[in-house]
């Protein structure tokens, strides 16, 4: 069994698309895979949430949303505003462990960034990852501002004893500028290893078969794909 936690440097960086890509490749390998969204915010009632996008893109239908709040806020703030119970990290960890007993891979997608609060006591995705002893895959932006956000998140992970599973650029632009090109080398230095992947912008709009091909090309071998960071740097005319 294996558990992978997916977080981001911020909201809207491509966590759901990366989660779907990891799940799609696991499904392609005939691995039994489950996807868990501990807390979904910003989606009222029966609206389409992140796990629905994962199902559409990856074909993985074993998905679980443990709490849902209509306000587009942090889980703690959204729970407070709605009057609904906050997510219990202990119960979430127990449910995820149960799933891990019967699945080869459980992918856990956070809300917002690593230290966004789940409850009023300050429990975060970092606490959940630590409770699960699970590695954390960090999804980041390509453009200006990403280096500071990535460095801070990696530092917070190290401070809490979390194992990094790599850094993935969640949305690589079709026409990258100087900032994006330069950031690739700096992101690798921050993570002290080559990039674990880079998915192209618009990947989340593809149909399933095309998305799986993009996932295969955009994620590294540790995540089930064939992404080659050295070859990627070559296309950017960056030194190895």
Q: Give the 3-state DSSP-derived string for 54-82, with helices as H, strands as E and coil as C.
A: HHHHHCCCCEEECCEECCCCCHHHHHHHH
The pLDDT tens digits of the residues spanning 38-61 come to 999 999 988 999 999 999 999 999
What single DSSP character describes residue 156?
Answer: H
What single DSSP character describes residue 29?
Answer: T
More confident residue, 90 or 30: 90
End-to-end CA distance of the chain: 35
Residue 148 Rama label (left phi>0; alpha psi -120 to 50; beta): alpha
The pLDDT tens digits of the residues spanning 100-116 come to 999 999 999 999 999 99
The pLDDT tens digits of the residues spanning 62-82 come to 999 999 999 999 999 999 999
More confident residue, 174 or 238: 174
Q: Give the 3-state DSSP-derived string for 190-240, with helices as H, strands as E and coil as C.
A: HHCCCCCEEEECCHHHCCHHHHHHHHHHHECHHHCCCCCHHHHHHHCCCCC
Alpha carbons 98 and 222: distance in angstroms, whole number: 24
In three-state secondary structure terms, 160 is coil
Told to judge if 15 belongs to the known catalytic residues of this protein, a careful annotator would answer: no
Alpha carbons 22 and 58: distance in angstroms, whole number: 9
196, HSE (Cβ side, Cα atoms, 13 Å): 21
Residue 238: per-residue pLDDT: 57
Mean pLDDT of the chain: 95
Alpha carbons 139 and 196: distance in angstroms, whole number: 10
Structural domain spans, the chain:
3-235
What global pTM score does this model have? 0.96
Out of 37, 103, 117, 130, pick the active-site residue: 37
Could you tell me if 141 and 10 are in contact, meaning their C-beta atoms sit under 8 angstroms apart?
yes
The pLDDT tens digits of the residues spanning 140-173 come to 999 999 999 999 999 999 999 999 999 999 999 9
Residue 114: per-residue pLDDT: 97
- pLDDT for 239 beyond 90: no
Q: At 118, is the pLDDT very low, low, confident or very high (cuts 50, 70, 90)?
A: very high
Q: At 191, is the pLDDT very low, low, confident or very high (cuts 50, 70, 90)?
A: confident
Q: At 1, is the pLDDT very low, low, confident or very high (cuts 50, 70, 90)?
A: low
CATH topology of domain 3-235: Rossmann fold (3.40.50)
Place of tokens 């009023």: 120
Alpha carbons 51 and 63: distance in angstroms, whole number: 6
Q: For residue 163, which of 192, 198, 124 has the smallest C-alpha distance? A: 192
Residue 20: per-residue pLDDT: 98
Q: At 19, is the pLDDT very low, low, confident or very high (cuts 50, 70, 90)?
A: very high
Could you tell me if 170 and 13 are in contact, meaning their C-beta atoms sit under 8 angstroms apart?
yes
Percent of the chain with pLDDT over 90: 92
Q: For residue 222, which of 62, 51, 105 has the smallest C-alpha distance? A: 105
């Amino acid at each position: 069994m294996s558990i992978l936690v997916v977080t981001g440097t911020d909201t809207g960086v491509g966590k759901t698309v990366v989660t779907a890509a990891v799940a799609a490749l696991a499904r392609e390998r005939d691995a039994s895979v489950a996807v868990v969204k501990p807390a979904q915010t910003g989606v009222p009632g029966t609206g389409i949430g992140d796990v629905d996008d994962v199902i559409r893109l990856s074909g993985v239908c074993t998905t679980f949303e443990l709490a849902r709040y209509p306000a587009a806020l942090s889980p703690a703030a959204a729970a407070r505003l709605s009057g609904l119970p906050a997510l219990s990290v202990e119960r979430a960890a127990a449910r995820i462990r149960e799933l891990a007993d019967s699945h080869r891979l459980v992918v856990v997608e956070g809300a917002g960034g690593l230290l966004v609060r789940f409850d009023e006591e300050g429990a975060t995705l970092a606490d959940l990852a630590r409770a699960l002893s699970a590695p954390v895959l960090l999804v980041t932006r390509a453009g200006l501002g990403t280096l500071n956000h990535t460095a801070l998140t990696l530092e917070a992970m190290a401070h809490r004893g979390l194992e990094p599973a790599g850094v993935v650029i969640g949305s690589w632009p079709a026409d990258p500028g100087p900032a994006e090109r330069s950031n690739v080398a700096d992101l690798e230095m921050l993570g002290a290893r080559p990039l674990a992947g880079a998915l192209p912008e618009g990947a989340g709009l593809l149909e399933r078969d095309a998305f799986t091909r993009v996932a295969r090309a955009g994620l590294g071998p540790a995540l089930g794909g064939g992404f080659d960071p050295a070859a990627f740097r070559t296309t950017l005319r960056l030194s190895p």
